[in-house]
A and B are shown apart, each in its own frame.
Chain A
Amino acid sequence: MIIENIKSQFPIFSKQTNGKQLVYLDSSNSSQKPISVINSLDNFYKNEFSNIGRSIHKLAVNATNRFENTRMSVKNFINASSKDEIIFTKNATESINLVATTFGQKYINKGDEIVVTELEHHSNYVPWHYLRENKGAIIKFAPINNDGDIIIEKLKDLITSKTKIIAITHLSNVTGTIVPIKEIVEIAHKKNIPVLVDGCQSAPHIKIDVKDLDCDFYAISCHKVYGPTGVGILYAKKKWLDVLPPYIGGGGMISEVKKEKISYAPLPEKYEAGTMPTAEVVAFNESINFMNSIGIENIVRHEKELTNYALEELRKINSVNIIGNPKNKAGVISFTIKGIHPHDISTIVDEEGVAIRAGHHCCQILHEKFKLSATVRASIGVYNTKEDIDILCKAIEKCRKVFDLK
């Protein structure tokens, strides 16, 4: 697989705006979609559409099979033990809410402690905050150092007999820090504490092996993994899904409904109430095929090379300050430029066709830590090239010119 040929699989890059080609460096926010995924959505709605798991006509049987095929692909993609451990949700946010709500309902009481980190996206903090509000739980933040690495010794110190769960990101959407999940899971499991991993940023960029990580829960948003919006994944060890209460109630998640009592469907349907985003789940299979056709090792190598190139080129530009310098960094580069506000940078580079994000990236705790209200973030996807980085750097030089920086 030649990495140069990847961009051509994404129709969005064949268009020009104001004579400028699109340089998309906002993949941490959401990724673009390859033609195979778009065609799958199109084909499913045109030729194969039916709801799943209910009717017994041919269309329904086919749709159900296609839907379950994706579940099997996801199971293999992240190396889960069984397809019953793969729950489809709306997005990673819903996956985390599912765990926080059901786990909280069963296991969290007043004074119990939840450990998160200063790296977390708001979606791996706010759901736990609900338990602080509703149940009187205590949330502790494992600190990070100036490089953007979690200080493992400090995290260890936060664990007490009251700690009920640790919720932690696999890859920071601000600093690009790849967190040593396996090491943290080992620490937690020695004290019988389960670990939820927010895999939103990691899933498209590094090898995910939930068996090897041994984590208890893993959350993914498919739209970041070159897939459609509206689909997320919760991986959870079967031992948890068996004992946790259901989350959303409705059709499809029940076994038997009586006026006096209700029994719930077996896994994974127990957690999939109502009509699911059928076409989108079916199309996500093509996203996994796309990733597999390149090979995760090749993706990692290509993105690492680009990240190093981008860091090198950005550091050459006067007054660019890159946030964090983690030991193990993926293609997420947040920075500031002295004298230009991130929003102004974003608007100016946008005129050059460069899409980057400005703001706090849903990580206000982290920005507060670095004493910043906002940063600019360039985040890499598998379709990016060195040329994209060159155009970004040129566009930044233009910002400096507009603002007359020396």
Chain B
Amino acid sequence: MDLKDLYQDIILEHGKSPRNFGKCEKYTHQAKGYNPLCGDKVEIFLKLNNEKKVENLTFEGSGCAISMASTSIMTELVKGKPLETAKKIIEAFLNMVKNTREIKSEDLNEDQKTKIMSLSGVKQYPMRVKCATLAWHTLTSAMEGKKEEVNTEGID
């Protein structure tokens, strides 16, 4: 196992300077996620427009490099996508880190696939999968308008 599989430059860079950080204006959906094992917290702010398209997607929170990078990359890839496409990307991501290490998606271009694939190394570190999936589960929760906080111990 090579640490570079896990800590690729793109992850370290996103971890240090996360994109779309902060609370976006006029968000329509919001959800909180919590990983009780490490105390990591994330809050997702989603703005859907009238055509059910993700007009804006931002987050606040703190966590390890993996969780910060995963959240940051997620916001980049999902922003601008129709809601249904966004849901498919979430599914493809979760399938990649939990099962296949491959990204199967018709909704992402090659650059975007490279970006999302940078997180695939997590699959080799079972204790770290939840760091990577927390934000994605929280985004699903926000889309579904769920009130209760996402807790990583109840999922995965």
Tell whether A200 is near chain B: CB-to-CB under 8 Å: no
Q: From known contacts A347-B128, A373-B39, infer whether A403 and B12 are also in contact, taking CB-CB under 8 Å.
A: yes
Q: From known contacts A343-B128, A403-B65, infer whether A374 and B38 are also in contact, taking CB-CB under 8 Å.
A: yes
Q: Chain A contacts of B37 at CB under 8 A?
A: 359
Q: From known contacts A351-B3, A402-B7, A402-B12, infer whether A344 and B38 are also in contact, taking CB-CB under 8 Å.
A: no
Task: Indicate if the CB atoms of A344 and B64 lie closer than 8 Å.
Answer: yes
> Roughly how many angstroms separate A403 CA and B125 CA in the complex, as a whole number?
18
Task: Indicate if the CB atoms of A341 and B64 lie closer than 8 Å.
Answer: yes
Tell whether B155 is near chain A: CB-to-CB under 8 Å: no
Q: Chain B contacts of A341 at CB under 8 A?
A: 63-65
> Roughly how many angstroms separate A347 CA and B67 CA in the complex, as a whole number?
14
Tell whether B6 is near chain A: CB-to-CB under 8 Å: yes
Chain B residue with Cβ nearest A358: B38
Task: Indicate if the CB atoms of B38 and A402 lie closer than 8 Å.
Answer: no
Q: In the complex, which residues 236-252 of chain A have their Cβ closer than 8 Å to any Cβ of chain B?
A: none
> Roughly how many angstroms separate A344 CA and B70 CA in the complex, as a whole number?
14
Task: Indicate if the CB atoms of A359 and B6 lie closer than 8 Å.
Answer: no
> Roughly how many angstroms separate A367 CA and B38 CA in the complex, as a whole number?
11
Most B CB contacts (10 A, CB to CB) among A340, A348, A402 go to A402
Tell whether A384 is near chain B: CB-to-CB under 8 Å: no
Q: In the complex, which residues 116-155 of chain B have their Cβ closer than 8 Å to any Cβ of chain A?
A: 125, 127-128, 131
Task: Indicate if the CB atoms of A374 and B39 lie closer than 8 Å.
Answer: yes
Question: Number of B residues whose C-beta is below 8 Å from A?
Answer: 19
Tell whether A285 is near chain B: CB-to-CB under 8 Å: no
Q: Chain A contacts of B12 at CB under 8 A?
A: 402-404
Task: Indicate if the CB atoms of A344 and B65 lie closer than 8 Å.
Answer: yes
Kindly provide the distance from the CB of B60 to the nearest chain A CB, expressed in whole angstroms.
Answer: 14
Q: Chain B contacts of A343 at CB under 8 A?
A: 38, 40, 63-64, 66, 128, 131
Tell whether A342 is near chain B: CB-to-CB under 8 Å: yes
> Roughly how many angstroms separate A364 CA and B36 CA in the complex, as a whole number?
10
Chain B residue with Cβ nearest A340: B65
Tell whether B100 is near chain A: CB-to-CB under 8 Å: no
> Roughly how many angstroms separate A339 CA and B39 CA in the complex, as a whole number?
17
Chain A residue with Cβ nearest B13: A404
Most B CB contacts (10 A, CB to CB) among A343, A347, A360, A402 go to A343
Kindly provide the distance from the CB of A227 to the nearest chain B CB, expressed in whole angstroms.
Answer: 26
Kindly provide the distance from the CB of B152 to the nearest chain A CB, expressed in whole angstroms.
Answer: 12
> Roughly how many angstroms separate A49 CA and B81 CA in the complex, as a whole number?
65
Question: Number of A residues whose C-beta is below 8 Å from B?
Answer: 19
> Roughly how many angstroms separate A347 CA and B6 CA in the complex, as a whole number?
10
Chain A residue with Cβ nearest B63: A341
> Roughly how many angstroms separate A347 CA and B62 CA in the complex, as a whole number?
18
> Roughly how many angstroms separate A343 CA and B12 CA in the complex, as a whole number?
14
Kindly provide the distance from the CB of A345 to the nearest chain B CB, expressed in whole angstroms.
Answer: 9
Q: Chain A contacts of B32 at CB under 8 A?
A: none
> Roughly how many angstroms separate A159 CA and B1 CA in the complex, as a whole number?
55
Q: In the complex, which residues 1-33 of chain B have their Cβ closer than 8 Å to any Cβ of chain A?
A: 1, 3, 6-7, 12
Tell whether B41 is near chain A: CB-to-CB under 8 Å: yes
Q: In the complex, which residues 340-388 of chain A have their Cβ closer than 8 Å to any Cβ of chain B?
A: 340-344, 347-348, 351, 358-360, 364, 367, 373-374
> Roughly how many angstroms separate A404 CA and B125 CA in the complex, as a whole number?
22
Kindly provide the distance from the CB of A374 to the nearest chain B CB, expressed in whole angstroms.
Answer: 5
Q: From known contacts A343-B64, A343-B131, A403-B65, infer whether A348 and B39 are also in contact, taking CB-CB under 8 Å.
A: no
Chain B residue with Cβ nearest A375: B39
Task: Indicate if the CB atoms of A373 and B6 lie closer than 8 Å.
Answer: no
Q: In the complex, which residues 55-76 of chain B have their Cβ closer than 8 Å to any Cβ of chain A?
A: 62-66
Kindly provide the distance from the CB of B82 to the nearest chain A CB, expressed in whole angstroms.
Answer: 34
Chain B residue with Cβ nearest A341: B64
Task: Indicate if the CB atoms of B39 and A347 lie closer than 8 Å.
Answer: no
Chain A residue with Cβ nearest B128: A347
> Roughly how many angstroms separate A287 CA and B37 CA in the complex, as a whole number?
31
Task: Indicate if the CB atoms of B40 and A347 lie closer than 8 Å.
Answer: no
> Roughly how many angstroms separate A381 CA and B62 CA in the complex, as a whole number?
32
Task: Indicate if the CB atoms of B39 and A344 lie closer than 8 Å.
Answer: no
Chain A residue with Cβ nearest B62: A373
A360: contacting residue among B39, B64, B127, CB under 8 A: B39
Kindly provide the distance from the CB of A348 to the nearest chain B CB, expressed in whole angstroms.
Answer: 6
Most A CB contacts (10 A, CB to CB) among B41, B63, B64, B131 go to B64
> Roughly how many angstroms separate A260 CA and B15 CA in the complex, as a whole number?
67
Kindly provide the distance from the CB of A63 to the nearest chain B CB, expressed in whole angstroms.
Answer: 39
> Roughly how many angstroms separate A358 CA and B66 CA in the complex, as a whole number?
15
Q: Chain A contacts of B40 at CB under 8 A?
A: 343, 373-374
- Please list 5 pairs of residues, one from A and one from B, whose beta carbons are closer than 8 Å in the complex, sorted by A's number: A341-B64, A342-B64, A343-B64, A347-B6, A358-B38
Q: Which 5 A-B pairs have the closest CB atoms?
A: A341-B64, A373-B39, A343-B64, A344-B64, A344-B65
**With contacts A341-B64, A374-B38 known, what are 19 further pairs, Cβ within 8 A?**
A18-B1, A341-B63, A343-B66, A343-B131, A344-B7, A347-B3, A347-B6, A347-B125, A347-B127, A348-B7, A351-B3, A360-B38, A364-B39, A367-B39, A373-B41, A374-B40, A402-B12, A403-B12, A404-B12
List chain A positions with a Cβ less than 8 A from chain B.
Answer: 18, 340-344, 347-348, 351, 358-360, 364, 367, 373-374, 402-404
